[in-house]
């Protein structure tokens, strides 16, 4: 939710089209605060929202992903480039240094990696998974983790979330998507 609010604020200041330099300055600032505080938690340096939060990696990765979108016309990365970045990530994990590069590498691998292929499915339950996963997980973990154990509770949460997402698609989303085809001007 915080990242969506950040997106709205950045968009209202025109950081996606008019003020791309300001966006880059914001990204570099957040990345530097992330990098400075990554290894030394005793001396927090930077704004409280970045230094006191345990979501510094998330914020920084999210901004890196936004940068990929904003500058997509200038960033060309094919499957060989993705493979190289994946190999580089694995080497950094093995030999140290991954934490510093993680926000950019995660954003590139996720955004560019998932945009290299398309998936056509008859029942698109992705939005339902997005909407129902957290509440279902909380419900299941609160009530069933002791009896089922953590893996069992997560499996039940996944199953229940998929069922709810499927029902949501069939009963709610698909009927509303069909309404897009109705031309109200003909009435």
Residue 157: its pLDDT value, please?
Answer: 94
| pTM exceeds cut of 0.75 | no
| Residue 30 Rama label (left phi>0; alpha psi -120 to 50; beta) | alpha
Instruction: Provide the pLDDT confidence category of residue 117 given band limits of 50, 70 and 90.
Output: low
**b/e for 106-145, b at 16 or more Cβ within 10 A?**
bbbeebbeeeeeeeeeeeebeebbeebbeebbeebbeeeb
Check whether 98 has a pLDDT greater than 70.
yes
Mean per-residue pLDDT over the chain, rounded:
80
Q: How far is CA 136 from the centre of its chain?
A: 19
Q: What is the mean pLDDT of residues 179-186?
A: 72
Q: Give the three-class secondary structure for 7.
A: helix
Element (H, E) at 146: helix 126-168
What count of other Cβ atoms lies within 10 Å of the Cβ of residue 102? 19
For residue 49, the model assigns a pLDDT of 54
In sequence order, which ranges of 45-96 are alpha helices (DSSP H)?
48-51, 56-70, 79-95
Contact (CB, 8 A) for 38 and 98: no
């Amino acid at each position: 939710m915080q990242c969506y609010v950040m997106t709205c604020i950045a968009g209202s200041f025109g950081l996606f089209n008019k003020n791309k330099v300001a966006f880059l300055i914001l990204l570099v600032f957040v990345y530097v605060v992330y990098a400075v505080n990554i290894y030394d938690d005793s001396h927090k340096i930077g704004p409280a929202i970045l230094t006191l939060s345990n979501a510094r990696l998330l914020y920084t990765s999210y901004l890196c992903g936004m940068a990929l979108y904003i500058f997509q016309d200038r960033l060309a990365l094919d499957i060989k480039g993705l493979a190289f970045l994946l190999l580089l990530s694995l080497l950094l994990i093995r030999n140290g240094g991954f934490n510093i590069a993680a926000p950019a590498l995660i954003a590139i691998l996720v955004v560019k990696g998932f945009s290299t292929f398309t998936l056509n499915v008859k029942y698109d339950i992705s939005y339902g998974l997005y909407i129902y996963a957290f509440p279902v997980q909380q419900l299941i973990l609160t009530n069933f983790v002791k009896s089922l154990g953590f893996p069992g509770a997560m499996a039940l949460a996944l199953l229940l979330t998929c069922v709810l997402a499927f029902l949501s698609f069939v009963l709610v989303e698909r009927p509303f998507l069909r309404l897009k085809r109705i031309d109200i001007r003909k009435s």
